[in-house]
Structure 1
């Protein structure tokens, strides 16, 4: 592709070849969001769109598909979810298929703030100039007997919920799991047996956060680690971002406040910058967003997103 002049591109594209105009677009089908490219040809005005018979639409990853056009023709690029591997295909109008054009990879050389690019806190986090607090076994964060009482309560709640759904569940198995192994905290969310005591919301008082793990096998699957607020052995844990006991980040979001955590190994961490604590959300590749959490008079939490981060990439 010697001519790099970019004419147009995106999720859908009109491509004119002589007297024929094509329209290409991408649907993402099913809960797994597999890409499916559609192609039609405009044959008259008003437009009628019979399908162009494409014999091959190769895909290598379940990521995003984008079309682009330059003076040498029409292409689409297919990438994995992490944008590390790319394949480019060129449309062969005679054969009616896309053919392999090139492949390349990218690596992350660093991170820069996108939202909050002029905020010193965002700049500090992008440069990894912050302090972190390591989690510890919950039996060292709260008294062991108190934590045992807490486990009993959560296992009882889980037993009741599973009974409602006619699912097999063993209270004894739940209770007898080691503290470092999972037990149910909320829907599809299990405890990890670790936590920390910290003033995460900067109100001058230390609170207890307990580690949790969310995993769902529906659709493309989703897994992330997170914090839930531990109030007492008699109370259900609460989601850290909104302070509500019943909520989970179903497939990474759906809490109604715009907060999202990656299904691709997302994780939460409390970081300290210039003496103030923030919630840092990352995935396997690096930081994604930084939020400041405020507890409201009714006991619920509000998050204010201060920063989002994008990678500096090198391609080869």
Structure 2
């Protein structure tokens, strides 16, 4: 089973209203704005969408809203993961909503064997096609990925580790044993900055958090504007590194700066300080001016 993904992948935030509840109308507006810039797919309720902070009902509604707004224009994939029972419930709700696939987050707390992780993936992939997210406690050897690629429904690996040696050996092993249909993604935060290295490994797909708040910049970089690496993305990574969780907080702040009130991040994340928000504002203006020029 394969899913044809290409272009810039859109990872929307999950907006919250003044009472802290899911703001479905704002999510619909956010998705609609992004779709006008032709993303390759929409990944809803994933890392940028504060997956770990959503209730099961909020997760299901966010996926439903995404499917309703996208209306088949591009694939919609939903986050799923954590305890197996929760991951299965999320997968089934996403399937019932009409989602096309899942980004499978790592299980938490329990650290089983490799055979146990494969069984976990197999159970969820029985519901919808799965892209496995390698990050945190999930660190896979090339042989592990080959085994997972043979599981029906497992269509790709998103790498959030950044171990170039491991990824090179993994890509070569999967291409040799499985073939070209299995997809690889650069899943590092602000992935554009590391894409030159990943392209050298044969990995062309990446998650773009920047697309969520500045799609013009994300699309210009995708089209080959390398100036943005030094003038926008490198300073953005420096800003992101100033506090844990800023990878998500920056995106929500960027959306607010561009006129869409998506509310704050949820604990344990924290919003940008006023000083850091001012830095982000300047960075966005710099990036947009480069694109306009």
TM-score relative to the length of structure 1:
0.22
Higher strand share: 1
Higher helix share: 2
Query: Could you say which structure has the greater relative contact order, defined with CA pairs below 8 angstroms and 6 or more residues apart?
Result: 2
**Structure label with greater radius of gyration:** 1
